[in-house]
Amino acid sequence: MTKPEPKLPPAKEPGPLQRFREMIRRHTLLNTAWQIGVFTVGMTVLAGGLVMMVTPGPGIVGIVLGLAILATEFAWAQRALHRAKAAAERAKEKALDPRKKRRNLIVGITCGILGGAAVVAYLVVYDYTLPWNIEDPKFWD
């Protein structure tokens, strides 16, 4: 006696976005234009993320978002996105390590105390005068 084959759920009808994308894929010129557009937008976001790595801003988010945009059309970007996700997961595990977390907390508190002490020392030296109100900067001579 053989087992009856399991019934598969009925195939889900593609949504309007999937139908639109399939229509574009059927036309070579439209497909090429679409890929050029995705490449341009994805590389722009990726480049913005790289710039934000050295300037203020969420650089990692920009890089991952750029790779995600590129991964919708290109296999190499999918592989890079998977590697980036794996690296982010490893970094998260490392950051949640109790010993490293304790060390980072101690370093942060120490830097905060030293920064506060520097501000207090400045205010004592300049008699609680703000930098733009100093008339005779003897300290710098």
pTM: 0.56
**CB contact set of 13 (below 8 Å; sequence gap of 6+):** none
What's residue 126's pLDDT?
72
Name the band, by pLDDT with cuts 50, 70 and 90, for residue 103.
confident
pLDDT reading at 47 higher than 70: yes
What's residue 12's pLDDT?
78
What's residue 140's pLDDT?
57
**CB contact set of 94 (below 8 Å; sequence gap of 6+):** 100
pLDDT reading at 139 higher than 70: no
Sign of the torsion angle spanned by Cα atoms 87, 88, 93, 99: positive
Question: Residue 81 and residue 74: Cα distance in Å, rounded?
Answer: 11
Average pLDDT over residues 3-7: 71
